[in-house]
Structure 1
Amino acid sequence: MSKPILELRHVVTKVNRNTPEELTLLKDLNLTINEGDFITVLGSNGAGKSTLFNSIAGNLPIDSGDILLRGESIAHESEERRTRFLSRVFQDPKLGTAPRMTVAENLLLATKRGERRRLTPRHLNAHMAEFKKLTSGMGNGLDERLTTPTGNLSGGQRQALSFLMATLRKPDILLLDEHTAALDPKTSQQLMTTTNERITAENLTCLMITHHLDDALKYGNRLIVIGNGQITFDVSGAEKQALTQETLYSFFSDLQD
């Protein structure tokens, strides 16, 4: 039986604290994530999806409750400290990569994720064959652009690179924050297929925010819906397989497919 790898217990997260604009975004939210879970996350705009990710990643401190990694609290750890076990891919392809560095240089940087930075020789050439093999699996020509500055890539290639960087060193937790939303339909589906293959092959623990109901139903072993700062629906296994788009629409009215 899978063991909990991450737990959110009675988490409350606010913004604009102690001002007239103070707003509570997560409201006594509870969530247990088991090792190997691939969870698709749905919810209308403002429901708390990104706040959930920001709270897990540490770039938005929680106001009360606790977050535990394998039973140990990480609620007060910094965002930088959490990179030792967590990776995230954002919606914007421009985030997550260094535009003036080449594809290979970005990948080399990703091999050091979570480590203390030191001045050491790069040994970039020693990694080129490995990076060639890694990028060739993306099927989008990225393997032919290892020496190209990342800023010169297409949006799809840059997002594929962000995904590879996030998974190069197997993270305990992978957060995919609508990582295909900014891409055209063909490129989006190509990256989604590769994403699923890599998560499955590596048995990664992943949460993926999506606005595409088809993707939410097709991928992952578990699906949650966030509404008004709380988990309003949580289903897995055979129950998830039996879901339909019509069932999901009944939970919220303004989610766009």
Structure 2
Amino acid sequence: MTKPVISLQNVVVTVGQGTQILKGINFDISPGDFITVLGTNGAGKSTLFNAIAGDLAVSEGKILHNDKDITHHSAVERTKMIGRVFQDPKMGTAPRMSVAENLLLSEKRGQRRTLRPRGLSNAKLAEYRKITATMGNNLEDRLQTPTGSLSGGQRQALSFLMATRVKPELLLLDEHTAALDPKTSEQLMHATNEQVTGNHLTALMITHNLSDALKYGNRLIVLNAGEIILDVRDEEKKNLSEDKLLKYFAI
């Protein structure tokens, strides 16, 4: 049996005066899983991501990476194996650096960044032009443009490319299309699916879009009040409908 990339064992996250946000989560993420994550506001979705990424301390339980206990590893240590794209297109990129410079910087994920990304070679620019063209939003024509001057969709596409430039062992997509208009969101979701499935990435994706949750990925989980109340995969997931999913939001 293939061992999990990440395993959460009885994970509890408590904040404030003893408020439990995650309540004894047991959850294995297998290599190649593309898991869509649903839940109402306050269900614990972002807390789950923050606990996995090391941005939030675990109060009880363990987090394992390839059977190694990383519960107390810092977020910086975990960047060596985790890529993340946030909801806000402004996060994850350096606004004053060009698109090409941001991509070059992303190749140093998990390493000491003593790099001064200036004077990119023609070969490197050609490589980046090919990569950015896969996003379908003309990002390849803006390689020398400061990232802060990009549209929201282009900047989010760049964030996605940066998170996957060095293949992560786990990719966290934290509502990465939520701030985009419907057309741009659909475009980025198509590109996301192509990259995740084509490069055999292991990914978790938070979404509030039931259609996307059903359409993409091989597995789906629903969180409610800090607990996983549904975890389905493959054929069982394919047999779900939006109406059936909505019942879990009425609990």
TM-score category (smaller protein): over 0.9
Q: Which residue number corresponds to residue 57 of structure 2?
A: 61
Alignment check: 8 A CA contact 2:173 2:206 kept: yes
Q: Which residue number corresponds to residue 245 of structure 1?
A: 242
Q: Deviations along 1:14-54, whole A, 9 cap, x unmatched?
A: 122xxxx4421001111011000000000000000000000
- Name the SS of the counterpart of 1:95 in structure 2: coil
Alignment check: 8 A CA contact 2:85 2:174 kept: yes
Q: Deviations along 1:95-149, whole A, 9 cap, x unmatched?
A: 0101011000100000000112335775622521111110011110100000000
Paired with 2:113 and 2:37, the residues of 1 have a C-alpha distance of 34
1:216 to 213, 220, 235: 213
- Name the SS of the counterpart of 2:112 in structure 1: coil
Q: In the alignment, is residue 106 of structure 1 matched against residue 99 of structure 2?
A: no
- TM-score, normalised with respect to structure 2: 0.96
Counterpart mapping for 1:1-257 below 5 A: 2-16=2-16, 21-118=17-114, 124-125=120-121, 126-253=123-250
CA shift for structure 1 position 168 = 0.6
Paired with 1:253 and 1:198, the residues of 2 have a C-alpha distance of 34
| % identity of equivalent residues | 61
Alignment check: 8 A CA contact 1:2 1:36 kept: no
How many residues align? The count is 250
- Name the SS of the counterpart of 1:4 in structure 2: coil
Paired with 1:232 and 1:253, the residues of 2 have a C-alpha distance of 12
Q: Deviations along 1:139-188, whole A, 9 cap, x unmatched?
A: 10100000000000000000000000000110000000000000000000
- TM-score, normalised with respect to structure 1: 0.94
Paired with 2:207 and 2:197, the residues of 1 have a C-alpha distance of 18
Paired with 2:118 and 2:55, the residues of 1 have a C-alpha distance of 29
Unmatched tracts of structure 2, length 5 or more = none
The AA in structure 1 aligned to 2:127 is E
CA spacing shift, 1:195–1:244, aligned 2, 3 Å: same
The AA in structure 2 aligned to 1:199 is V
Paired with 1:192 and 1:120, the residues of 2 have a C-alpha distance of 32
CA spacing shift, 1:142–1:119, aligned 2, 3 Å: closer
- Name the SS of the counterpart of 2:158 in structure 1: helix
Paired with 2:63 and 2:19, the residues of 1 have a C-alpha distance of 20
Alignment check: 8 A CA contact 1:89 1:162 kept: yes
The AA in structure 2 aligned to 1:5 is V
Q: Deviations along 1:186-228, whole A, 9 cap, x unmatched?
A: 0000000000000001100000000000000000000000111
The AA in structure 1 aligned to 2:72 is H
CA spacing shift, 1:122–1:77, aligned 2, 3 Å: farther
User: Alignment RMSD, CA only?
Assistant: 1.4
The AA in structure 2 aligned to 1:147 is Q
The AA in structure 1 aligned to 2:193 is N
CA spacing shift, 1:156–1:12, aligned 2, 3 Å: same
Alignment check: 8 A CA contact 1:30 1:230 kept: no
